[in-house]
Amino acid sequence: MFKTEIKSDDSAHYFGEVSDPELEIFYSTHKYPTQEQATEDARKWIYWFQNCPSGTVESIYYILAVPETWAGPPTGAHPYSGLQVKIGRTKNILRRLQNLRTGTSGQLIIHALEPGGFELERIRHKMFESDRRQGEWFACSPALTQHIFAIWSHYKVLPREHQYIILKLQERIDILRRVRAVFGGSPDMINPSLNEPWLGNVFIDLVNPSWIQDEK
């Protein structure tokens, strides 16, 4: 059972706090000039949260595409430099993801969801118009990357499996950054196929990292 509490800050703005201790869920609304607006925000979030899994409400999604051969961000760049994200709208995010996987190489990660329909989708596309590459695919600029993390942090709705995948991606980025620091540049090949020539001196296998084991 969700509990909603309306509070005010030092600037006389109101915000709602929605919590369910049993489910370990906590949501804080945006700040508004009236209590009614904060209450309405909380009510809408609860409705969206409860109906999102059943596919009866629309959501704006941010799906990150990570090629297996991605060498990580260059030195000094933001973590998702060189990647692309799809910004779209759906009622069934898992079905949409499955459809996208057809004909798409690499890993697709549901990185953030927010409540909204056609109008919000149009606004988001306009916000990042300069980053658009093709259709609904956008380059992960610093601003877009920050926005994705902010949406995930604020709305807190994401399939558990993809929360785990995002954390594993951060580990991959950390590994690739350390490799760059040690070797003075990116690896020559990332996750090379056994069916292609291996060219260079530095190879990283992040798909099957435990294929070599110490003999006992």
Burial class (CB in 10 A: 0-12, 13-18, 19+), 177: middle
Residue 71 CA to chain centroid, in angstroms? 19
Burial class (CB in 10 A: 0-12, 13-18, 19+), 139: middle
Tell me what the mean pLDDT of segment 74-95 comes to: 94
13-62 pLDDT, tens digit each: 999 999 998 878 899 999 999 999 999 999 999 999 999 989 999 999 99
Q: What is the pLDDT of residue 181?
A: 76
pTM given for the model: 0.85
**Average pLDDT value for the chain:** 88
- 141/180: higher pLDDT: 141
Q: Which residue has the tokens 């409860």?
A: 50
128-157 pLDDT, tens digit each: 999 999 999 999 999 999 999 999 999 989
Tell me what the mean pLDDT of segment 181-192 comes to: 67
Residue 105 reports pLDDT greater than 90: no
Q: Where are the domains of the chain?
A: 3-51, 59-171
Tell me what the mean pLDDT of segment 206-213 comes to: 51
Residue 212 reports pLDDT greater than 50: no
Q: What is the pLDDT of residue 129?
A: 98
Task: Indicate the DSSP class of residue 131.
Answer: G
In three-state secondary structure terms, 15 is strand
Pinpoint the alpha helices (H) of the chain. 35-51, 93-101, 118-127, 142-155, 160-183
Rounded CA-CA distance 141/79 in Å is 10
Rounded CA-CA distance 28/150 in Å is 13
- Confidence category of residue 202, pLDDT binned at 50, 70, 90: low
Residue 211 reports pLDDT greater than 50: no
Sequence length of the chain is 216
- Of 60-69, 70-79, 112-121, 126-135, the one with minimum mean pLDDT is 70-79
